[in-house]
Amino acid sequence: MIAHSALRAWPRQKRDALRLALWTSQEIAEATGGVASGAFQCAGVEIDSRDVRSGDLFAALKGEATDGHRFIDKAFANGAAAALVSQPIDWPHVLVSDTAEALAMLAAAARNRAEAVRIGVTGSVGKTGVKEAIFTALDRTSRGAAHRSVRSYNNHVGVPLSLARMPARAKFGVFEMGMNHAGEIEGLTAHVRPHVAVVTTIAPAHIENLGSMEAIADAKAEIFAGLAAGGTAVIPADSEFADRLRGHAEARGARVMTFGRAAGSDARLLDAIPSANGGSLVTADIDGTRLCYSVAEPGDHWIMNSLAVMAAVKAAGGDLAAAGLALAEMGGLKGRGARHRIAVPGGHALVIDESYNANPASMRATLRQLGQTPATRRIAVLGSMKELGDFAPTMHAGLVEPVSEAHIDHLVLVGDEMRFLARELGKGIAGALAAPVSFAHCDGPGEAIAALEEFGLAGGDAVLVKGSNSVGLGRLVAHLVDRGR
């Protein structure tokens, strides 16, 4: 009886009255100005008919190459509950004049109805990993009431889609924002209107389109344009562009939190030592609170990422202890640090999957990490770094130094731009490399697989696979993992 009374007296909150369904037909119609064909409820939102799951709303977007309306039947065959369309269909639907605009309207409605604290994340390197870590920390804090953009849904379609998927009951929402031209992040941050905006780092990614590092910093700082009143900007204190970022943030009236090694950083690294699991044990001062926590992911770049995560969690009102647990338990993401132990002659080899993205800063960081990885031999499969424009020859050739410092035993270079590094390696100049490094230069992933097979992996090897996604080195990783099972 006492227990029953206690249950009845459990305090109710405003969010308890909200529907469990993500969207009803009435809500979709009201948000988009469309007309519903009837009453229905949806559990999710999807734009790719191949990814539709039971209960989803399929948004039939029209692109330059194809029209989502062509895949309506496939979406419903996969379990769609309804579709967002700009032409009448025989299935349950909401009819609108423009489906892309309607998706943006649905995103705005999702943003406005939820009381979630919204965190936006951008940066030249590390934004997806930092986004995932912030989400994991806040999901612990809120006991499952956090939401995030999945995969790399960080563009003009992915951001509104991620917002439209945010439940009304969400307490936190974490959204990644990417760009390769000036002005793009300003449009994305207008959708999210974050309470906390994080810039992970400034590096020469997309410099082909932006022309200078200063322009890259300015483009990333566009995220501050959408900050909600009283919002917080989280910026890297150790960056040479810290003052530039701070100026943009303060011009928008933001509170600024910095992270890094620099004296006076709000999230300041005090000490870091290697931990038994290959990661790091970090001691930091987070806005006056001293913390000691573990970071599962190896490398100095993840120590810095952890400080950005802690600053963001603090600014969002989350639990720093939960953030520490999240960082201790996080594994690498597919294409972004996932580690695989594969069976090879003589034992097992370690494959480090960094195949999704590459720029000069991330190349140097992951090569440094490989150099610190215990191994009998260290092998690196390096794919071209894209969108560097006129800077490509210098920046690819410049990898000769981190390759030397990482004590690489064999290199497989993939893609046309990697010929510049191949030329440097071929010179064999004393002082550039302490000892010659064996290498092969390949046009694509198929040749790279053959070259790696010819070299022959053995027990104790560590293999780093790193390159821009368009090079296709994910295929090589899949080959190694499938073969080594």
Q: Of 329, 360, 375, which one is at a domain's C-terminal end?
A: 329
Q: DSSP assignment of 261-276, as one string?
A: SSTT-SEEEEEEEE-T
Task: Tell me what pLDDT residue 2 has.
Answer: 52
Do 176 and 300 lie in one domain? The reply is yes
369 closest CA partner among 349, 352, 386: 352
Q: Classify residue 56: in a domain, yes or no.
A: yes
What is the SS3 assignment for 485? coil
Q: Which amino acid is at 53?
A: R
CATH number where 43 lies = 3.40.1390.10
Angle at alpha carbon of residue 257, lines to 255 and 258, rounded to 5°:
145
- How far, in Å, CA of 149 to CA of 139, rounded? 13
Task: Tell me what pLDDT residue 1 has.
Answer: 46
Do 121 and 89 lie in one domain? The reply is no
Do 352 and 322 lie in one domain? The reply is no
For CA atoms 192, 195, 200, 203, the dihedral sign is positive
pLDDT, one tens digit for every residue, the chain (485 residues): 455 555 455 456 665 555 568 999 999 999 999 999 999 999 999 999 999 999 999 999 998 888 999 999 999 999 999 999 999 999 999 999 999 999 999 999 999 999 999 999 999 988 999 999 999 999 999 999 999 998 778 999 999 999 999 999 999 999 999 988 899 999 999 999 999 999 999 988 778 778 899 999 999 999 999 999 999 999 999 999 999 999 999 999 999 999 999 999 999 999 999 887 789 999 999 999 999 999 998 889 999 999 999 999 999 999 999 999 999 998 777 888 888 999 999 999 999 999 988 889 889 989 998 998 999 999 999 999 998 988 999 999 999 999 999 999 999 999 999 999 999 998 764 444 456 789 999 999 999 999 999 999 999 999 999 999 999 999 999 999 998 66
Do 121 and 98 lie in one domain? The reply is no
Q: Of 295, 329, 363, which one is at a domain's C-terminal end?
A: 329
Q: Of 63, 81, 102, which one is at a domain's C-terminal end?
A: 102
Task: Tell me what pLDDT residue 428 has.
Answer: 63
- How far, in Å, CA of 165 to CA of 160, rounded? 9
Q: Which amino acid is at 76?
A: F
Q: Classify residue 1: in a domain, yes or no.
A: no
Task: Tell me what pLDDT residue 432 has.
Answer: 44
Q: Classify residue 107: in a domain, yes or no.
A: no
Do 133 and 222 lie in one domain? The reply is yes
Q: 315 is in which domain, residue-wise? A: 114-329
- How far, in Å, CA of 300 to CA of 189, rounded? 29
CATH number where 242 lies = 3.40.1190.10
Do 363 and 445 lie in one domain? The reply is yes
Dihedral pair phi/psi, residue 145, rounded to 5°: -105, 25
Q: Classify residue 9: in a domain, yes or no.
A: no
Do 141 and 187 lie in one domain? The reply is yes
Do 159 and 288 lie in one domain? The reply is yes
Task: Tell me what pLDDT residue 444 has.
Answer: 95
Do 319 and 443 lie in one domain? The reply is no
* pTM listed for this prediction: 0.83
Dihedral pair phi/psi, residue 482, rounded to 5°: -65, -40
CATH number where 404 lies = 3.90.190.20
Task: Tell me what pLDDT residue 431 has.
Answer: 44
Task: Tell me what pLDDT residue 412 has.
Answer: 96
Residue 182's contacts (CB-CB under 8 Å, 6 or more residues apart) are: 210, 215, 218, 219, 222
Residue with token string 């974490």 = 174
Q: Classify residue 41: in a domain, yes or no.
A: yes
Q: Classify residue 3: in a domain, yes or no.
A: no
Q: Classify residue 2: in a domain, yes or no.
A: no
Domain count, the chain: 3
Dihedral pair phi/psi, residue 349, rounded to 5°: -120, 155
Do 97 and 135 lie in one domain? The reply is no
Do 298 and 367 lie in one domain? The reply is no
Do 163 and 257 lie in one domain? The reply is yes
Q: Classify residue 233: in a domain, yes or no.
A: yes
Task: Tell me what pLDDT residue 436 has.
Answer: 74
